[in-house]
Amino acid sequence: MDTKRSGGREAALAALPALLLPWYDKNKRDLPWRQDTDPYRVWVSEIMLQQTRVEAAKEHYVRFLRALPTVEDLAACPEDKLLKLWEGLGYYSRARNLQKAAKIVAAEGFPSTAEGWRKLSGIGDYTAGAIASIAFGQPTPAVDGNVIRVLSRLLGDDRPPEALKSSLFAELAPAYPQARCGDFTQSLMELGATVCTPASPLCLTCPLFELCRTRSDALPLPRRKQERKRSELTVLLFVRGGEAALCRRQSGVLRGMYGFFCIEQAMDAAGVQAFLRGAGMRSFALGERRAHRHVFTHLEWEMTAYVVLSEEDAAALQNSSAAADDAAAANQTAAAASAAGEAAAAKQSAPAHTDFAALQYFPVERIEREISLPSAFRWCLPLLRRAAGAARN
């Protein structure tokens, strides 16, 4: 296929506004972020939509703006509240970058150019172009996966998406109309989302059908998917009365987020019991067990959760283990010596796990209402509710 820039290529791009804008007026979806072009609202929607489907983002967008209607509100929002509002959208670094940039905007004002937006945290070429065109009417392309797919097929360009992105950005800019730049940006996105879909595109309904050189889903060429890394995790849900233990994760894909105690290997009930005894917990019972698979973009967790019912403080288990060893060493009975040996062996062979000292107990109702849990752990909440309810009865 011809991948070189030519007069026919330029003519096809130049024809886009006249074909797409009337189609967009008749067929655009009624989405909450299209009610106005306020830069704050456009910005929030574009950040939410970076890694989230439109249907999943709609309710979150409305709730977010109800709680934080201005950039000043976002800049001043406590992080825990911000992450709770973001809960369910994933990729929480987006929310942190959004707030970091909001603090600058609240102090200095909104940038009016794509170049100015690119200087803010979490904003790349696509998002900067989208905001500048939609909120400020500038002819700045926003080239995302939808736009790459539409134009790759339209032009019959079989280059990889990575190579197409910068080329299409430069080629598309001269095609922008003098007016309705934001609508033109959104019309390209809309066509890719609703008609020129990744598989089984609705070619016969496409306003670009006569111009399109592909008229199928043959392009862009599929990329080789990176194989996901698979890990096995055992999750311990420590429940004490109506409270459960959480900790902030210190590393990895969910760094800085609340989660439950994790052991980085699969364990059966007997293994969990031996692990807890080795850590110093003396009085406990295992409750409900549940298995779950959680898939990230490049990572897959096979998770097994166990409810651990105990009045002991799990956050003190490291200290309790050392104290138990000291007591066992001081005791001269054979049974005590054996127990000390078992405890030492358990500590030496213990798998990597969450730091006990990082655990904090919160009422289960507060966890559900106020604390943001990533979806990798939210599936555990029904187990907590049942365990806490049984403990209170």
Q: Is residue 145 a contact partner of residue 56, using CB atoms and an 8 Å limit?
A: no
Residue type, 380: C
- DSSP class per residue in 127-160: HHHHHHHHHH--------HHHHHHHHHHHT--S-
Would you state the structure tokens that stand for residue 2, as one six-digit string?
């011809």
Q: Which of 46, 171, 190, 243 is catalytic?
A: 46
Q: Is 46 an active-site residue? A: yes
Would you state the structure tokens that stand for residue 288, as one six-digit string?
């409900």
Q: Is residue 74 a contact partner of residue 98, using CB atoms and an 8 Å limit?
A: yes
Tell me how far apart the alpha carbons of residues 294 and 278 are, in angstroms, rounded to a whole number.
29
Tell me how far apart the alpha carbons of residues 300 and 314 are, in angstroms, rounded to a whole number.
27
Which residues, 6+ apart, have CB-to-CB distance to 89 below 8 Å? 48, 51, 52, 56, 57, 60, 95
Burial (0-12, 13-18, 19+ Cβ within 10 Å), 258: buried
Tell me how far apart the alpha carbons of residues 369 and 371 are, in angstroms, rounded to a whole number.
6
Give the CA radius of gyration of the chain: 27
CB atoms within 10 A of CB 137: 16
**CB-side neighbour CA atoms (13 Å) of 19:** 18
Tell me how far apart the alpha carbons of residues 114 and 128 are, in angstroms, rounded to a whole number.
5
DSSP class of 174: G
SS3 (DSSP) at 232: strand
Tell me how far apart the alpha carbons of residues 215 and 2 are, in angstroms, rounded to a whole number.
16
β-pair partners for 226? none
Residue numbers annotated as active site:
46
